[in-house]
């Protein structure tokens, strides 16, 4: 599938435009009855090439829902999300298959992102190296040969990150808490890779509960609270304002 204009944008050109986005879920409450959960309420922003944007906010404030909408995996009720190229969502929920081996999942993940088989084959070793999973060399076990469901959550997150981040440069990369998993060395490697992607003039969105991670990785932050955009600005200022908000014990308005 052709990406209209992909790769052609200058630094600073818009990559994601969210225009008054509303998203609601229908939750069954009993036989024949349901309730609407209004998860995102009129959120608007423009993301540009070269930006790394953190999404912060209380539990249930709509961060993951917004990320899914940017990825094109979640319909909006009203408003629209415009994206350049094909955003890649990379998170703990990324759809890899637990019964298949790590090796098969590298291939599947690559195909799902639109890569050719030969493109995947030539990048395979780089992906495995990035993940840091033992691959049978140096007399260690070959974790890539086992089903992914036998991996620890950290191992699985590392492989997912490696697949999406090493595979190719994305116009828009969406990361949902992947950095929270994995050991310190892997986190450093992930941060470096995010910096490289950003330098390659992509846009990175990161959902993380750790403000240290957001401040180190992102230059801008969006603070969502009860589905609304409370603040949009430099990561330092937005995380500080959110910390102040939580310290004063103010509770977000009810849904």
Ligand X SMILES: Nc1ncnc2c1ncn2[C@@H]1O[C@H](COP(=O)(O)OP(=O)(O)OP(=O)(O)O)[C@@H](O)[C@H]1O
**Token pair listed for 113:** 């992102």
Q: Are strands 172-176 and 220-225 parallel, antiparallel or unpaired?
A: unpaired
Cβ closest to ligand X, residue 13 vs residue 92: 92
By CB under 6 A, tell whether 27 contacts ligand X: yes
CA distance to 13, 72, 90, per residue, from 171 (Å): 11, 14, 13
> Out of 15, 52, 61, 203, which residue is the one contacting ligand X (CB under 6 A)?
61
Residue 92 is encoded by which pair of tokens?
């703990």
C-beta of residue 197 within 8 angstroms of C-beta of residue 174: no
Q: Does 82 bind ligand X (CB under 6 A)?
A: no
Q: Which region among 43-51, 61-69, 104-112, 195-203 touches ligand X (by CB under 6 A)?
A: 61-69
In terms of C-beta density within 10 A (0-12 exposed, 13-18 middle, 19 or more buried), how is residue 122 classed? exposed
Which of residues 25, 78, 82, 129 is near ligand X by CB under 6 A?
Answer: 25
Q: Which stretch binds ligand X (CB under 6 A): 13-21, 63-71, 153-161, 246-254?
A: 63-71
76 near 19, Cβ under 8 Å? no
Residue 63 touches ligand X, criterion: CB under 6 A: yes
Is residue 134 involved in binding ligand X (CB under 6 A)?
Answer: no
37 binds ligand X (CB under 6 A): yes
The binding site for ligand X (CB under 6 A) comprises 25, 27, 37, 39, 57, 59-65
């Amino acid at each position: 599938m052709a990406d209209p204009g992909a790769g052609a944008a200058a630094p600073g050109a818009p990559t994601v435009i969210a225009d008054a986005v509303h998203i609601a879920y229908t939750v069954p409450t009993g036989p024949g009855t349901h309730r609407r959960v209004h998860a995102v309420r009129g959120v608007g922003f423009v993301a540009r090439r070269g930006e790394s944007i953190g999404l912060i906010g209380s539990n249930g404030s709509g961060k993951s829902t917004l990320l899914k909408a940017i990825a094109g995996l979640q319909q909006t009720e009203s408003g629209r999300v415009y994206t350049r190229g094909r955003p890649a969502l990379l998170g703990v929920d990324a759809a890899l298959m637990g019964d298949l081996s790590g090796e098969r999942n590298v291939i599947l993940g690559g195909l799902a992102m639109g890569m050719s088989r030969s493109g995947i084959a030539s990048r395979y070793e780089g992906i495995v190296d990035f993940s840091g999973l033992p691959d049978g060399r140096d007399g260690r076990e070959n974790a890539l040969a086992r089903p992914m469901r036998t991996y620890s959550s950290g191992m699985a997150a590392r492989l997912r990150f490696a697949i999406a981040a090493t595979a190719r440069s994305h116009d828009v990369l969406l990361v949902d808490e992947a950095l929270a998993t994995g050991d310190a060395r892997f986190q450093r490697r992930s941060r470096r890779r995010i910096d490289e992607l950003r330098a390659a003039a992509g846009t990175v969105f990161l959902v993380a509960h750790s403000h240290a991670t957001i401040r180190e990785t992102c230059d801008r932050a969006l603070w969502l609270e009860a589905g609304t955009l409370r603040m949009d600005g430099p990561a330092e200022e937005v995380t500080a304002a959110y910390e102040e908000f939580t310290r004063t014990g103010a509770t977000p308005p009810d849904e």
